[in-house]
Amino acid sequence: MKNLIIIAAGGCGREVLQWAKDVNKVENRWHIKGFLDDNLKALDGLKCDIKILSTVEDYVPDPDDEFVCCIGNSNVRKMVVEKLKAKGAVFATLVHPNAVIADSCTLGEGVIIYPYALISDNAVIGDQCIINMYSSVAHDSVLGEYCTISAHCDVTGMCTLGDRVFMGSTSQIVPGTRIGDDVYICAGSTVMTRVRDRKKVLGNPAKMVSF
């Protein structure tokens, strides 16, 4: 049995702790070893049965360790993942048992799929993406690396998202739309046209706003 180490003990990390426990109820996959967090007091005052082991900088991976990174900011997540991979860290893909995952889809390394998410036929989810609860990625859509899809989002069919895209809660992208790298889609927005790299969009239909 592998050890699971959760990077970041904030809200996302504590949610993923529960999802890992739910996975274990079905397949007993991991010994949940603990968190890594640069704030060693991040759990103070909170109800949590798993401790913070170390800062990211100080931790040396063991051969039986697997990691998931629960940092919402895509650029910070990428930096931390690369730092640990340079030490030999291996990243697990965590899919909640209540998620609906098509047999034909492709999930990259380190992907986290929350409960009640749906990944449809021939969708491709890049490395280190986070897909939150009640969100969907429809048929033939492709997500680049380190995307963060918040709760209740809808990526419809044949969309292409670049790397490090952030979708705020209840946002949606209409079929066939292309989204560039480092795009921020504000909560509640509907994206109906192509969005170029490093743009922030807001509204219905979504329009560019200052970043």
pLDDT at res. 155: 98
CA 188 to chain centre: 19
The one-letter code for the residue type at 173 is I
- Residues 80, 150: one domain? no
**Bridge partners, residue 201, by sequence:** 185, 208
What span, in angstroms and rounded, lies between the C-alpha atoms of 33 and 49?
Answer: 11
pLDDT, tens digit only, all 211 positions of the chain: 999 999 999 999 999 999 999 999 999 999 999 999 999 999 999 999 999 999 999 999 999 999 999 999 999 999 999 999 999 999 999 999 999 999 999 999 999 999 999 999 999 999 999 999 999 999 999 999 999 999 999 999 999 999 999 999 999 999 999 999 999 999 999 999 999 999 999 999 999 997 6
What span, in angstroms and rounded, lies between the C-alpha atoms of 184 and 166?
Answer: 5
Question: Is there a domain that residue 67 lies in?
Answer: yes
Q: How is the beta sheet containing 30-36 ordered, strand by strand?
A: 52-54, 30-36, 2-7, 65-69
CATH code for position 87: 3.40.50.20
72, 92, 112: which is the final residue of a domain? 92
Question: Is there a domain that residue 134 lies in?
Answer: yes
The pTM assigned to this predicted structure is 0.97
Residue pair 104/87 in contact (Cβ under 8 Å)? The answer is: no
pLDDT at res. 210: 73
The one-letter code for the residue type at 1 is M
What span, in angstroms and rounded, lies between the C-alpha atoms of 16 and 100?
Answer: 17
What span, in angstroms and rounded, lies between the C-alpha atoms of 68 and 17?
Answer: 10
Residue pair 129/70 in contact (Cβ under 8 Å)? The answer is: no
In terms of residue numbers, what domain contains 60?
Answer: 2-92
